[in-house]
Amino acid sequence: MQKRKFGSLPTGEDVELCTLHGGAGASLSFMSYGGIVTSLCVPDREGRIADVVLGFDNLDSYVAGHPFFGAVAGRVAGRIPGGRFTLEGKTCQLVQNDGPNHLHGGLRGLDKRIWSAKPNLRADGADSVRLTYHSPDGEEGYPGNAFFCLDYTLTQDNVFIIESEVTTDRLTPICLTHHSYFNLAGEGSGEVFDHELTVHADRALLVDELLTPLGRAVSVAGTAADFSSPRRLGDAIPGLFARHGDCYLLPGGKSLHLAARLADPVSGRTLSVSTNEHCLQLYTAAYLECPHPGKSGHPYLPFAGCCLECQGYSAGAEFPEFGSILVEPGRPQRRVTRYAFSTTNPGIEP
């Protein structure tokens, strides 16, 4: 692991940039600010390295505001209807920072906090860092002290592993996600319309016109949201609800399950996503607004990336039948997501 100062916040706090190394020239860089992944460089079928996540090359652009590029979103990722939930008979009201809803942890969620970063020794020798953060009782309106531990690992076969463990001293909802925008052709290369997506799920969770979760699931078989076989995103997006992408139900539990596969036929880069989370949120970046130039030197436009967010159900405090997101004292919440990068040859399925 390599570590260097990336800059300082207006409050004077220093921000560190950590870099991990995989095989064949692959690398992963992320900040102590928000656990934000700033770059993820992997080879194509010819061995050429490209950065496949959107973001900036300077801290100021992140601090000025961005659409959660590469960040840890939480305490609860996604939208909480009305910004409220009920615990033990008491209603908790959070800030409503997305219309009537609470989104991605509030005005200053985990994506805007400084995490402690230390080397994490693994038996397999892979480059790994442990990020920790203590969220005090009442932060952004959430009850209970929550202690977050995230392990970021990049293996020698180019798998980015995110392992989380959360403990609390009081019943509270926790639903984290990683929010990178992937473009397997390379960030700044344009829209991801030619990418092919497969999602291994047959049900999705309904939302209203404000993307508010409704607590109901429907089959996607035969609909525009059906990605059970590979589909070109440019063909699928016009038929998706609000061109946004759905939240798919996954098995969850202790075991990892293959959730999705994204492939760029031109470069041959593929991304396979496995997780033990209960949901996969697809976001096509339909509403992407980024006034600051990205790493390529130009602002990112809509559909410049694709998010594959493994998470719990944001309304899970009210609808535990889709996977509870409540954490109790003495019972840690543990989750794992694996983003595995590989390459294919033209016309050959992996």
What is the spatial distance between Cα 239 and Cα 48, in angstroms, rounded to a whole number? Answer: 34
SS3 141: helix
Stated pTM of the model: 0.96
Catalytic annotation, residues: 179, 309
pLDDT in tens, 149-161: 999 999 999 999 9
* Contact predicate 306/273, CB 8 Å: no
- Please give the pLDDT value at position 345: 80
**Residue 349 clears pLDDT 60, i.e. is over it:** no
Confidence of residue 12 (pLDDT cuts 50, 70, 90): very high
**Per-residue DSSP letters for 173-219?**
E-B-EE---B-TT-TTS---TT-EEEE--SEEEEE-TT--EEEEEEE
* Contact predicate 305/322, CB 8 Å: no
pLDDT in tens, 195-237: 999 999 999 999 999 999 999 999 999 999 999 999 999 999 9
Structural domains of the chain, with CATH:
2-343 (2.70.98.10)
- Please give the pLDDT value at position 290: 85
pLDDT in tens, 44-61: 999 999 999 999 999 999
What is the spatial distance between Cα 22 and Cα 24, in angstroms, rounded to a whole number? Answer: 7
Tokens 């719990």 locate to: 312
What is the spatial distance between Cα 221 and Cα 225, in angstroms, rounded to a whole number? Answer: 8
* Contact predicate 288/242, CB 8 Å: no
Helical segments of 59-173, H only: 59-64
pLDDT in tens, 137-194: 999 999 999 999 999 999 999 999 999 999 999 999 999 999 999 999 999 999 999 9
In angstroms, the first-to-last Cα distance of the chain is 31
